[in-house]
Amino acid sequence: MTQRIRIYQQGTPDVLHHETFELAPPSREQVLIRHEAIGVNFVDTMFRDGTFKVPLPFGMGVEAAGIVEAIGDGVEHLKVGDRVAYFFAFGAYADRRVIDASALIKLPADISSEQAAGLLSKGLTAWALVKQVHGVQAGETIVVHGASGGVGSLLVRWAKSLGASVIATVGSASKAAIVQGWGLDHVLRSDEPELAERINATNGGFGVDVVYDLVGRNTLAASISALRDGGALIHVGNASGGVTADTSLLAARGIRYVQPSTPQYVNAGNQDMAASELFERFREGALGSLELSRYRLEDAALAHRAIAARKHTGSILLMP
């Protein structure tokens, strides 16, 4: 029997339901894969808690890596035994699953399933943010709120490797101590007062060029205050709670406001190229080491509580 995590109602982590079921064979242009590692992402909590409405029952998770066990008709680019991963396909919280072959990215030999599941979705999001949503240029000054998290930790280092001056903010002293060792220009506490003033003080009193806000409610006002007129506010996430920006104020200051999602910028047409660049930057060490926290598949609720508590750094995995 195959194991999976589904929800039958949206709510707290307690709604995550571990169950067994019979898995059907792959249909045309589909493959069956056995997961070796499953990525847990902040967006998973938003599908679970009702921030995003979903049809019920709903198969949790969007990202995993594993091994092809069976192939349906019409699949020519994959074979049984291939190691693969994907970054956005609902139903990832399972030990085995059937998935469209077009969603899969073949893994190079030197990237493990755990690395892929901890890196792919967050890394492709970082790729989209620095290459597509806003092409980071050498000499720009950027702020990243939520710099210690899975996406933030990759984003700050990728932007720094492109020559930007990077101001990172984090929500606690323990996280600041970790991020301080990454070679960034400034690390600030977002849980202390007058955040915008402290950002501007590091930048000679001038507004910054770009803010990537992964935190939301606790930082968005500071993001707007810290930006120069004509800058860019890239509102990526709401780790501290949802918030709505005053778009008329932003427009009056010529600030570009974007609320991107990774599938808008990474798709079947460019995902292999983007993943190849991501893996190459990882090999080079430009993205730092990959810190992984592991939970059993049946303990998915514990992983969601860890995200809600904002106690972890790096990436969280579920292990089938």
pLDDT at 277: 97
Tell me the C-alpha to C-alpha distance, in Å, between residue 185 and each of 15, 159, 193, 288, 292.
Answer: 42, 11, 20, 16, 25
Phi first, then psi, for residue 117 (nearest 5°) are -70, -25
pLDDT of the residue at 260: 95
pTM greater than 0.75: yes
Q: How many residues does the chain have?
A: 320
- Quick one: tokens of 281? 């930057």
Domain boundaries, the chain: 2-120+268-319, 138-258
Angle at 46 between CA 275 and CA 10, to 5 degrees: 135
10: closest CA among 61, 41, 54, 59?
54
Backbone angles phi, psi at 288, to 5 degrees: 75, -175
Angle among Cα 131, 132, 138 to the nearest 5 degrees reads 35
User: What is the rounded distance in angstroms from the CA atom of residue 188 to the CA atom of residue 186?
Assistant: 6
End-to-end Cα distance, the chain: 13
Multiple choice CATH, 2-120+268-319, 3.90.180.10, 3.40.50.300, 3.30.1490.20, 3.30.830.10: 3.90.180.10
Max distance between CA atoms of the chain, in angstroms, equals 62
Closest C-alpha to 77, from 273, 272, 301: 272
Which CATH architecture group holds 138-258?
3-Layer(aba) Sandwich (3.40)
Please calculate the CA angle 43-315-303 and round it to the nearest 5 degrees: 65
- Which residues 6+ apart lie within 8 Å of 278 measured at CB? 119, 120, 123, 124, 126, 127
Picking from 89, 94, 93, the residue whose alpha carbon sits closest to that of residue 105 is: 89
Coil vs helix vs strand at 291: coil
How many helices and strands, by DSSP H and E, does the chain display? 10, 16
How far is C-alpha 18 from the chain's CA centre? 24
pLDDT tens track for 38-61: 999 989 999 999 999 999 999 999
- pLDDT tens for the 320 residues of the chain, in order: 999 999 999 999 999 999 999 999 999 999 999 999 999 998 999 999 999 999 999 999 999 999 999 999 999 999 999 999 999 999 999 999 999 999 999 999 999 999 999 999 999 999 999 999 999 999 999 999 999 988 999 999 999 999 999 999 999 999 999 999 999 999 999 999 999 999 999 988 899 999 999 998 899 999 999 999 999 999 998 877 888 889 999 999 999 999 999 999 999 899 999 999 999 999 999 999 888 999 999 999 999 999 888 767 678 999 99
pLDDT (0 to 100) of residue 239: 75
3-state secondary structure of 59: strand
Q: pLDDT at position 190, please?
A: 94
Three-point CA angle 179, 208, 169, nearest 5°: 20
pLDDT score for 316: 93
Query: What is the spatial distance between Cα 128 and Cα 199, in angstroms, rounded to a whole number?
Result: 25
Distance from chain centroid for Cα 160: 18
| Coarse DSSP helix, strand, coil percentages of the chain, rounded to the nearest 5 percent | 35, 30, 40
281: DSSP letter = H
Would you state the pLDDT for residue 154? 95
- What are 92's two structure tokens? 């990832």
Position 305 scores a pLDDT of: 95
Domains 2-120+268-319 and 138-258 share a fold: no
Q: What integer pLDDT is reported at residue 61 of this predicted model?
A: 98
